């Protein structure tokens, strides 16, 4: 795979943003965070969809299977409310779940707000794609990414995805090979 073929899906899940009631800031915040740290060339597959489980599942499958994204990062829909279904959609399309991601992100967020226990953020693997749920709150997004991204390139290596290189002055990556 040529480096320029690296694709990363950024999926904002929000009823109001998808209806245009406000502008999505989470998705662009994730893209900016990645642009600053990834030295490999990559293309973003970005979309904004409502909090509907079947829509989320379809979009995750499209990004993973059709667009061949090695990584899909969602934001939003991770709370306890009735329409928060992103983790459920994620689990439905993944063959394996990685409980350590959710545990670690809740632990980090808990340092800022006790309501971090309410987050159902999950991560899992669909074939050669790692899917990670982030919360919708833009401030929490960078806290969570800082906490878990050092393990992401190694995970993508292990599932046979593209090799992601990072600016080591900004983030220290750990990998086995």
**Sites of contact with its own copies (CB under 8 A):** 79-82, 88, 96-104, 106-107, 110, 113-120, 125, 130, 148, 150-151, 154-155, 158-160, 174-176
Q: Which is nearer to its own copies, 2 or 176 (CB)?
A: 176
Question: Toward its own copies, which CB reaches closer, 60 or 116?
Answer: 116
Closest to its own copies by CB, 1 vs 110, is 110
Angle, CA 150 vertex, CA 108 and CA 146 arms, to 5°: 40
Shortest CB 122 distance to its own copies, Å: 8
Closest to its own copies by CB, 4 or 138: 138
State the nearest-atom distance from the C-beta of 97 to its own copies, in Å.
8
Minimum gap (Å) between residue 148 Cβ and its own copies: 6
Residue 118 and residue 80 in contact, taking contact as beta carbons nearer than 8 Å: yes
Based on CB atoms, which residue is closest to its own copies, 2 or 172? Answer: 172
- In angstroms, give the least distance from the CB of 36 to its own copies: 19
State the nearest-atom distance from the C-beta of 104 to its own copies, in Å.
Answer: 5
Distance CA 127, CA 67 (A): 13
Q: What b/e sequence results for 58-91 when a residue is b if at least 16 CB atoms lie within 10 Å of its CB, and e otherwise?
A: ebbbbbbeeebbbbbbbbbbbbeeeebbbbebbb
Length of the chain in residues, anyone?
A: 177
């Amino acid at each position: 795979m040529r480096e320029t073929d690296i694709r990363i899906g950024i999926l904002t899940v929000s009823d109001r943003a998808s209806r245009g009631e406000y502008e999505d800031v989470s998705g662009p915040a994730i893209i900016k965070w990645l642009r600053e740290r990834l030295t490999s060339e990559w293309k973003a597959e970005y979309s904004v969809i409502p909090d509907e489980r079947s829509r989320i599942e379809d979009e995750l499958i499209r990004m993973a299977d059709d667009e061949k994204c090695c990584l899909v990062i969602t934001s939003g829909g991770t709370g306890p409310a009735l329409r928060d279904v992103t983790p459920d959609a994620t689990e439905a399309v993944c063959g394996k779940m990685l409980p350590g991601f959710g545990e670690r992100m809740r632990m980090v967020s808990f340092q800022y707000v006790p309501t971090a226990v309410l987050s159902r953020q999950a991560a899992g693997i669909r074939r050669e794609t790692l899917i990670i749920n982030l919360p919708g709150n833009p401030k929490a997004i960078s806290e969570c990414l800082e906490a878990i991204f050092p393990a992401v390139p190694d995970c993508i290596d292990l599932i046979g995805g593209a090799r992601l290189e990072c600016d080591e002055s900004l983030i220290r990556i750990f990998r086995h090979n």
